[in-house]
Amino acid sequence: MHYSGSVYRPPSEAYSLIVQVTLGCSHNKCAFCNMYKDKPFSICPIDQVMEDLSWARNAYPRIERVFLADGDALILPTEHLLRILHYIREHYPECQRVAVYASPKSVLKKTPEELRTLHEAGLGIAYLGLETGNEALLKKINKGVTVAQQVEAGQKLKAAGITLSVTAINGLSGTVGWEDHAVDTAKALNAMCPDFIALLTLRIYTGTPMAQWVEEGSLSVPSPMELIRESKLLLEHLDCPGAVFRSNHASNYLVLAGTLNRDRERLIRECGEALRGEAPIRTFVELGR
């Protein structure tokens, strides 16, 4: 297999065959992110990708899931993606799902018909990083798209039948503006009604603009209790029937898991118990900070 630089995948793709179809992220400018700083963005030659798929078929007897890395597989021309998906369908008959990270810009460049065709060829799930539904904060972190574009991309993926998993970042606004971040993020999620919502917690990575903001004092990282207070406010405004809500990433202080809207009141109650000190939260040591 051709692997280049650091390779990332969502936690739920832990057992997937990872195939790099692009290197890096086509945007690579978000203020909090250090994922692909080690490599400039490029599209992997399609013949190399097909070679990797063929090699993996010979190497592994069962491949039930495939994750097409790196940061933005949907930027590939549709005919390249279809060639990859058709190969997987033909040569990996046991494969149940093909997944990608999807950048909103790449989703919006595809027509609804193209997305539908990709889904019918086996593209099962797309992971979209909303980060925040607050317009000013989205601009500040340099996400490169508007909230409306993020929402439209999510809706377009869902309309094509592709399972939609959306991440947002608890604490992204620091200790100032957290109410707007929580409420607006809930609104954007409600508009998309994803199948999965993953609430991560802000981590500050050395060398990023955000680390610089913390160093110069223009951003204060929220305390664990402030983060839980923000999660509670987000949950109070969420209205996404059927969405699986998870806040159980290694970065989260309070583990929350349930299906909306059915479990929303329980999740809000669990936040309240943690805020009152009636339920344990993870510590810095457990989180490895």
- Minimum distance from CB of 103 to ligand SF4 (Å)? 6
Q: For ligand SF4, give the closer residue by CB, 72 or 270.
A: 72
- Minimum distance from CB of 104 to ligand SF4 (Å)? 9
Q: Rule CB under 6 A: is residue 23 a binding residue for ligand SF4?
A: no
Q: Rule CB under 6 A: is residue 30 a binding residue for ligand SF4?
A: yes
Choose, by CB under 6 A, the member of 122, 129, 174, 258 that binds ligand SF4: 129
Span interacting with ligand SF4, options 21-29, 153-161, 166-174, 222-230, rule CB under 6 A? 21-29
3-state secondary structure at position 169: strand
- Minimum distance from CB of 149 to ligand SF4 (Å)? 13
Binding mask 160-189 for ligand SF4 (x = CB under 6 A): ------------------------------
Q: Rule CB under 6 A: is residue 274 a binding residue for ligand SF4?
A: no
Choose, by CB under 6 A, the member of 17, 18, 19, 27 that binds ligand SF4: 27
Identify which of 21, 194, 173 has the alpha carbon closest to the alpha carbon of residue 101: 21
The encoded tokens of residue 232 equal: 């509670």
- Minimum distance from CB of 17 to ligand SF4 (Å)? 21
Identify which of 124, 172, 234 has the alpha carbon closest to the alpha carbon of residue 245: 234
Span interacting with ligand SF4, options 29-37, 185-193, 204-212, 217-225, rule CB under 6 A? 29-37
Locate all alpha helices (DSSP H) within the chain, ordered by sequence: 46-59, 78-91, 104-109, 112-120, 135-140, 147-159, 178-192, 209-216, 224-237, 264-275, 284-287
Q: Rule CB under 6 A: is residue 28 a binding residue for ligand SF4?
A: yes
Q: Rule CB under 6 A: is residue 122 a binding residue for ligand SF4?
A: no
Span interacting with ligand SF4, options 28-36, 48-56, 243-251, 264-272, rule CB under 6 A? 28-36
Bridge partners (DSSP) listed for residue 123: 98
The encoded tokens of residue 202 equal: 């802000």
Q: Rule CB under 6 A: is residue 154 a binding residue for ligand SF4?
A: no
CB 151, CB 186: distance < 8 Å: no
What CA–CA distance (Å, rounded) separates 137 from 178? 10
Residues in 69-88 at the binding interface with ligand SF4, rule: CB under 6 A? 71
The encoded tokens of residue 9 equal: 């995948």
CB 5, CB 106: distance < 8 Å: no
Residues ≥6 apart with Cβ < 8 Å to 2: 20, 44, 48, 51, 52
Q: For ligand SF4, give the closer residue by CB, 103 or 132.
A: 103
Q: Rule CB under 6 A: is residue 198 a binding residue for ligand SF4?
A: no
The encoded tokens of residue 137 equal: 């904060």
The encoded tokens of residue 39 equal: 């490599």
What CA–CA distance (Å, rounded) separates 238 from 184? 10
Binding site for ligand SF4 (CB under 6 A): 25, 27-30, 33, 35-36, 71, 103, 129
